[in-house]
Structure 1
Amino acid sequence: MKNFCLCVLAIVLASSCRTTRLQTNNNESIGSLKLIGQYNVPYNLSFDNTTVGGLSGIDYDPQTQNYYLICDDRSAINPARFYTARLYFTDKSFDSVAFTKVTYLLNPQGQTYPDSKTAPSLAPDPEAMRFNPKKNCLVWSSEGERIVTDKDTILNNPAVYEISLTGKYLDSFALPSQFVMKATENGPRRNGVFEGIGFSDNFKHMFVSLEEPRYEDGPRSDVTDGPAYTRIIKYNVDTRQPIAQYAYKLEPIAYKAIPEDAFKVNGISDILALSDTRILTIERSFSTGIRDCTIKLFITDLKGATDIKNINSLKQTPGFKPASKKLLFNFASLNRYIDNIEGVTFGPILPNGHQSLIFVADNNFSDKEESQFFLFEVVPSKQ
């Protein structure tokens, strides 16, 4: 019996090591993506006395097979929260998404966050979430708030928080001075701040991406090539201190708005680290009057890029080298309606031995939009 148990343990350990090795190799050698399937969450799905929607970030824990999904509800519908879910699929089909738990985000005082109408300077704007198995905790980002009008000024700094799996506040990452909200046209723009998070280097480092350029760094994306530069911050996870920043050049906005002076945007909606220098970046372009979002996935390389942490204004500092990037996948090639994709994670290894990659779209709690999940197979590049 003892020898049998030791044999089973050896098989389990070998299988576990094989899974980890496959994930690492596939992450480093992405050749192309192959769509397996799509699943849409029903509009206004009710779960545990909350409304499911606004899914803006996703991450996967291979040990528990749980997916963590942050919701960008600013405590307006229900208190700020994240969901735990199970996704059921094979390498041939995407069957379903089952929500299993809702957890409320707690502030440093141990309370749920107030809504944006009651306390706009204290309400969060949740956007990204990652699981850290080394600390058995979660990290999530808030875009904060910047409202400057003749009647009122509301400033709430963006932030990155470390929390327990029960939502309890543990700590926060240091905020570089360039990202403090200001009433003048300096620092971050409203709704253009911390949209993406990615762990790298065995969870020693963490990248945080800004959706859009800071005022000092130049104009926002437009239908013509500005150019528009946003930033990616690199943190030491143990000290929670920023150690570097890199410039990232955004694509032009895909379509003119209708009418032309209506809202339009392009920015980084999420990132996913492949190594300590390579990351996947999602660029999401939207124009009023165009139903679809234009979603492009790039492999971005920070190697050789200028560390711009001590450069306050990119538009006044010529000669810096931005990160290089290469288009990996354009969702337009799927020839179907694509909504507001804001989250991405690697999932489990598929039965055929390839890595899975999952995207989630934020429906903004609108009946005209969709909470979409897309499942892909990662086809490794030929070595």
Structure 2
Amino acid sequence: MRKVARTLFVCTVFMTVISCGTKNDTNKIEASLKLRFVDEYVLPDETTFENTRVGGLSGIDYADGNWYAISDDSDAPRFYSANLSYDLNGFDSITIKSVTHFKDSIGEMIPKGMVDPESIRYDNGGFIWTSEGNIKDGVKPFVQIADSSGVFVKEFTLANRYLPNTDLNFGPHHNGVFEGITLSFDKKGYWVSMELPLKQDGVEPTLEKTDSPVRIAFINKKTGHFEKEIVYELDNVARPAADGATFELNGIVEILEYEKNKFFILERSYSMGYADGGNTVKIYDVDASKATDVSSIQSLKGASYTKVTKKLLFNFEDIREELTNGIVDNIEGTTFGPDFENGNRSLVVVADNNFSLYGPQLNQFIMFEVEK
């Protein structure tokens, strides 16, 4: 736990709204918000609770005074409730209060290897959560609702473009599906984000600038249907893999709507071979008010449409030296917490430590003040 308070003045970076095809427009988001880094808290790697190891925390949410964090353990998919105690000076403590295992419709535990939990949100007494599935093994991704006991309630129907496919040029990439979800600002539905482009839409990001458009879809809560889809353009990979490694990626890892058609989007680039973890993480302020609905477009390649606009709000490189061992870990979840005493909102992000399967990683929580 570190007690740090520092205001970061982030350069405003405006992105051009590009329409594929012949149409090009420029639309700027006016600067209005900034994030002030307050503190970091690392939950020990050996933390256990009710015969489970606390780790793999891929999503976090706060509602009605309670905190929830989903674990991406495919052998025992579950979520924890927790207490995060903090103020404008920093964290005081983080404690786990309960664990809930996800179950099928008859209350049985989900078989091992059938899900890859990624994101969770509390909604009206239950939980909406996502799984990336296992595309290479034909296990489909999903967006489901569970009750407060983790029991299956409902699953939303997916278009074929989101399902495993034998066509090498169609469908989702492995580990590139439903990584993020947020309640819509009007509470009428959910926005769910892909991590990577669909194969028919564009290529996975590389070190060079690529056309890598990611779909973000709106799910109507009343009808249960996927409806409007908008497009977010990914950055290129931040740095080359090092020390003989070759693996690199960049994608959306979480989404949070804070006003109608306004989002905070976490974008994470990862490159193997770095002692600092290899992660380059950014938070973008995103405006979708003029974005085209592309739900009827089967392939974005060559299509004419308007993407969301994105403005760099925070780059975690700016605080790397203030974090444990200079590590920006595998940050994958974000949520607003309770307001501070000055009326400003708090924002918390959490890192998935992968249960330290690939070397030591951190159950890392980082907290900000949202300043207007």
TM tier, smaller: 0.7 to 0.9
* 1:95 partnered with 2:92: yes
Identity of aligned residues (%): 37
- Alignment correspondent of 1:9: none
- Alignment correspondent of 2:49: 47
After the TM superposition, which segments of 4 or more aligned residues of structure 1 sit over 4 Å from their partners? Answer: none
Q: Distance in 1 between matches of 2:148 and 2:31?
A: 32
Q: Distance in 1 between matches of 2:310 and 2:68?
A: 28
Q: Does structure 2 conserve the Cα–Cα contact (< 8 Å) formed by 1:248 and 1:323?
A: yes
Choose from 253, 258, 275 the match for 2:259: 275
* 1:143 partnered with 2:138: no
* 1:355 partnered with 2:345: yes
Q: Kindly provide the amino acid, as one letter, of the partner of residue 52 in structure 1.
A: V
Structure 2 unmatched runs, 5+: 1-29, 322-326
Q: Kindly provide the amino acid, as one letter, of the partner of residue 66 in structure 2.
A: N
Q: Distance in 1 between matches of 2:163 and 2:365?
A: 33
Q: Kindly provide the amino acid, as one letter, of the partner of residue 184 in structure 2.
A: S
Secondary structure (helix, strand or coil) at the match of 1:365 reads helix
- The correspondence of residues 292-371 of structure 1 with structure 2, limited to 5 A, is 292-315=278-301, 317-336=302-321, 337-366=327-356, 367-371=359-363
- Alignment correspondent of 1:175: 158
Q: Distance in 2 between matches of 1:289 and 1:109?
A: 45
Offset at 1:260?
A: 7.0
Question: Which range moves more in the overlay, 164-173 or 97-106?
Answer: 164-173
* Alpha-carbon RMSD: 1.5
- The correspondence of residues 234-313 of structure 1 with structure 2, limited to 5 A, is 234-258=218-242, 262-290=246-274, 291-313=277-299
Offset at 1:177?
A: 2.1
Q: Kindly provide the amino acid, as one letter, of the partner of residue 69 in structure 2.
A: L
- Alignment correspondent of 1:5: none
Q: Distance in 2 between matches of 1:309 and 1:158?
A: 18
Q: Does structure 2 conserve the Cα–Cα contact (< 8 Å) formed by 1:44 and 1:365?
A: no
Secondary structure (helix, strand or coil) at the match of 1:217 reads coil
Q: Distance in 1 between matches of 2:186 and 2:304?
A: 32
- Alignment correspondent of 2:71: 71
Q: Distance in 2 between matches of 1:146 and 1:172?
A: 18
Offset at 1:289?
A: 1.0
Secondary structure (helix, strand or coil) at the match of 2:318 reads helix
Q: Kindly provide the amino acid, as one letter, of the partner of residue 306 in structure 1.
A: T
Q: How many residues align?
A: 333
Structure 1 unmatched runs, 5+: 1-27, 117-122, 148-153
- Alignment correspondent of 1:34: 36
* 1:190 partnered with 2:174: yes
Q: Distance in 2 between matches of 1:207 and 1:269?
A: 13
TM-score computed with the length of structure 1 as normaliser: 0.84
Q: Does structure 2 conserve the Cα–Cα contact (< 8 Å) formed by 1:74 and 1:126?
A: yes
Offset at 1:353?
A: 1.5
Question: Which range moves more in the overlay, 322-331 or 28-37?
Answer: 28-37
Q: Does structure 1 conserve the Cα–Cα contact (< 8 Å) formed by 2:245 and 2:272?
A: no
Secondary structure (helix, strand or coil) at the match of 2:166 reads coil
Q: Distance in 2 between matches of 1:56 and 1:40?
A: 15
Offset at 1:258?
A: 2.1
Q: Distance in 2 between matches of 1:86 and 1:105?
A: 21
Secondary structure (helix, strand or coil) at the match of 1:335 reads helix
Larger fraction in helix: 1
The structure with the larger Rg is 1
Secondary structure (helix, strand or coil) at the match of 2:161 reads helix
- Alignment correspondent of 1:80: 77
- Alignment correspondent of 1:12: none
